[in-house]
Structure 1
Amino acid sequence: MSAIERLWTDYNLPTLDALHFPDGRSYEVEMDSAAPSGMKLVEAFDLEEFLEEEPGWVTPVDGQRSVPLTDGGVLWGGEGAHGSNGFCARLNADLTLVWVIFFQVSNPFTEVQVSGDIAVFNSTSGVSITVDINDPLRSVST
């Protein structure tokens, strides 16, 4: 089980701007309002190594908005422990992760709009993140 899967079993996420997959891939991302997706890719990193060095950099998350998908899964937007935290996720029907994106200063994502394979997550502070729900890496500017 990967580090992100272990954290997700208790609905916790690392407290850093990143995109995570249950297969162990993690990527630093940053918000970028000039990018079509609203974010850009910084670099890949090892989440296991990060958590060994910074075990306290974890926050519980709570979903604020859920949108069902035709495959039985859901898109989920919400918040972390601090009012400035926000996350966007795609979950399987059993609520296990397909992918998750966390931002430290986006504010909670409380609106989710889906059109085909594209989802737009909007936060309470006006941050807008657009992702391909099947592969959010396709959405991220480099």
Structure 2
Amino acid sequence: MSKIVELWNEEELPIKDGIYFANRESFSLSVQFYPNLLIEKGKKFDLVSFLNENPDYLTSIDITKKIKMNTGEICLLGEGSYGSEGFIAYMTSDEHLKWVMYFEKSNPFINAIELPNRFLEVESSANYKIIIDLKNPIMNINFRWSDYL
């Protein structure tokens, strides 16, 4: 079992902006929320090594929304224990974690809509939306402010 799956099963996530795959791959995300939203893929890193060096960098999570996709897969949204955090998790149809994105200052994610061609639009309580390519979530992340929709 990978470390992220172990943490997920304990309802915890690392406090590090990133995307964490059940297959043990982790990538940092460089995130700027103000004055303009900008999300960029960072470097691959080893989650186990990160947590060995930073054992207290964990947050408890609350799942606030569960959305079943047309494919049968499941999207879970929620928040961390510090209030400013948010996460997007993507699960198999039998509820095994595929990947989870965590943002320390995104605010909770409150809704998601499945778009054509396996895209997912996720809305934060901070009034912006992130569009994720479910075929390749790490390479194709887009975003937009809800005010412009």
Q: TM-score, normalised by structure 2?
A: 0.85
Give the CA RMSD over aligned residues: 1.8
1:75-113 Cα deviation digits (max 9, x unpaired)? 111101011000011111332211110000000000111
User: What is residue 147 of structure 2 aligned with on the other side?
Assistant: none
Select between 71-80 and 132-141 the one with higher mean Cα deviation: 132-141
User: What is residue 138 of structure 2 aligned with on the other side?
Assistant: 137
User: What is residue 54 of structure 2 aligned with on the other side?
Assistant: 54
In structure 2, the residue corresponding to 1:136 is in which secondary structure? Answer: coil
1:18-42 Cα deviation digits (max 9, x unpaired)? 101011100000235768xx52111
User: Within 2, Cα distance between the matches of 1:12 and 1:93?
Assistant: 21
**Unaligned stretches of 5+ residues in structure 1:** none
User: Within 2, Cα distance between the matches of 1:46 and 1:62?
Assistant: 25
Aligned-pair identity (%): 29
Which of the pair has more CA radius of gyration? 2
Is residue 79–residue 108 contact of structure 2 (8 Å, CA) maintained in 1? yes
1:128 to partner: Cα distance: 2.0
Is residue 63–residue 79 contact of structure 1 (8 Å, CA) maintained in 2? yes
User: Within 2, Cα distance between the matches of 1:120 and 1:31?
Assistant: 17
**Bigger relative CO (Cα 8 Å, ≥ 6 apart):** 1
Residues 136 and 76 of structure 1: CA distance in aligned 2, closer, same or farther (over 3 Å): same
User: Within 1, Cα distance between the matches of 2:32 and 2:133?
Assistant: 17
User: Within 2, Cα distance between the matches of 1:28 and 1:11?
Assistant: 20
Displaced runs of 4+ in structure 1, greater than 6 A? none
User: Within 2, Cα distance between the matches of 1:56 and 1:71?
Assistant: 37
Paired residues for 1:2-81 under 5 Å: 2-32=2-32, 39-81=39-81
Residues 140 and 112 of structure 1: CA distance in aligned 2, closer, same or farther (over 3 Å): closer
User: What is residue 126 of structure 2 aligned with on the other side?
Assistant: 125
Is residue 86–residue 106 contact of structure 1 (8 Å, CA) maintained in 2? yes
User: Within 2, Cα distance between the matches of 1:78 and 1:134?
Assistant: 22
1:8-27 Cα deviation digits (max 9, x unpaired)? 11121101101010111000
User: Within 1, Cα distance between the matches of 2:101 and 2:27?
Assistant: 9
Query: Which protein has the bigger strand share?
Result: 2
Q: Alignment length, in residue pairs?
A: 139
In structure 1, the residue corresponding to 2:4 is in which secondary structure? Answer: helix
**Unaligned stretches of 5+ residues in structure 2:** 143-149
